Amino acid sequence: MKKWISAKSAAVALCVPALFLTACSGGDISASSSAASGSTACGTFNIAINQWVGYEADAHVIGTVAKQKLGCDVKYKTLKEEVAWQGFASGEVDTVVENWGHADLTKKYITDEKTAQDAGLTGNKGVIGWFVPPWMKEKYPDITDYKNLNKYADLFKTSESGSQGQLLDGDPSFVTNDEALVKNLNLNFKVVYAGSEAALIQAFRQAEKNKTPLIGYFYEPQWFLSEVPLVKVDLPKYTDGCDADPAKVACDYPLYELNKIVSTKFANSGSPAYQLVKNFNWTNDDQNLVAKYITADKMSPDAAAEKWINDNPDKVNAWLAKK
C-alpha cells in the first residue's frame, strides 16, 4: 500500500517517459463523466488511483465533489504509487490523494525536481504491521510477540514457502519492509505475495472462518477490520531513524500521518480543485465507511462517494470554503 515514512517502498521499475505512464502502470485509465455543463473554470482534473480501496474512497469523494460542486472534468488514472509521481511533471497527474510517506519519492520530486508539493494531511492515521486472525490469538496467546514466531513457523508452512513459515504480503508495490524484517529478526519465514489487497483480505477472511493458520501484512484504515478484527503482532518498537536503511530494518512500522501530494503545475494553475484537495480532511471512520460501501455493499465508487457526500454536507462545505 500504501503507506509510509521512510524508503520502504518496494521498487517498481520506472519504465518509460512520463508521456507513456499508462503503459507501464499495470493498471488501466478511465475517465469519469464530463464536467457540469457550462462550466470551464476548473477544466480537467487528473486524480491518480492507487490500488487499495481506502485510497479509492478518498479519490472518488474528492472527484465527485469536484464534478458536482466545481464543474471539473475529472479523470481517474489507475497507477502504481511510484509511477503516479512521474506524471506530476507532465501534467498527466494532478494529485495523489493518499501518500504513505515515500521518502525517496518526496526527495526526488518535491525537494530536488520541485515538480510536486505537499498539500497537507488527509486526517487519516495509518498503521502497517503483521497480523493474525483472532482465533490464533485465542488458541496461541503468545503468538503476537515476534520472539515466539519461530516456534510456530511450522504452522504457517505452505507450498509456496517450502520449509519455512509463510508471511503473506499484498501487492509487491505496497510499502513494505517485510523481507528485511524476516531476515534481520532471524525469523524462519518466507514472504509470499498475495498480489492484491482483495486477495489479502480474502485470505484473512478464510483463515478466520476455517480456523487455518495465517500471518500476514495488513494495515489501517481498512474497513475489513470491522468484519474480522485482526490482531497485530508486536515487532521491535519503532524509533526515529530505525528504518533509515531499508536493508537493515529490524523495527516495527511507524504511525503514518497520511498526506496529499499535488503537482506544482496544478498548485499554480488557479484551479478550484487545488483548494479542494488542500482542504480535504476526514477520519479513518469516514474512509472506512465509504470503503465498506464499495467493497462489502457492492456500490460503485461514485455511488458510494455520493452517498457519503449527501450524508455529510458540513464537512463537504468546509472543504469548499476559501482558506
Q: Where are the alpha helices (DSSP H) in the chain?
A: 21-24, 53-70, 81-90, 103-105, 134-139, 178-184, 197-210, 264-267, 272-279, 284-295, 301-311, 313-320
Q: For 207-252, write each residue's pLDDT tens digit.
A: 999 999 999 999 999 999 989 999 999 999 999 999 999 999 999 9
Q: Are 2 and 52 in contact (CB under 8 A)?
A: yes
Q: For 151-178, write each residue's pLDDT tens digit.
A: 999 999 999 999 999 999 998 888 899 9
- The Cα 18–Cα 24 span in angstroms is 10
For the record, the C-alpha cell of 153 comes out as 513457523
Ordered structural domains, the chain, with CATH = 18-124+258-320 (3.40.190.10), 127-248 (3.40.190.100)
pLDDT at position 207 is 98
Identity of residue 68: Q
Q: For 84-112, write each residue's pLDDT tens digit.
A: 999 999 999 999 999 998 888 999 999 99
pTM higher than 0.85, yes or no?
no
pLDDT at position 323 is 67
- The Cα 29–Cα 49 span in angstroms is 9
pLDDT at position 174 is 87
Query: Per-residue confidence at 181, pLDDT binned at 50, 70, 90?
Result: very high
Q: Nearest Cα to 247, choosing from 297, 184, 302?
A: 184
Q: What is the mean pLDDT of residues 172-201?
A: 95
For the record, the C-alpha cell of 200 comes out as 489479502
Give the number of other Cβ atoms within 10 Å of residue 268's Cβ: 11
Residues 6+ apart with CB under 8 A from 166: 156, 157, 158, 160, 189, 190, 192, 215
Percentage of residues of the chain with pLDDT beyond 70: 87
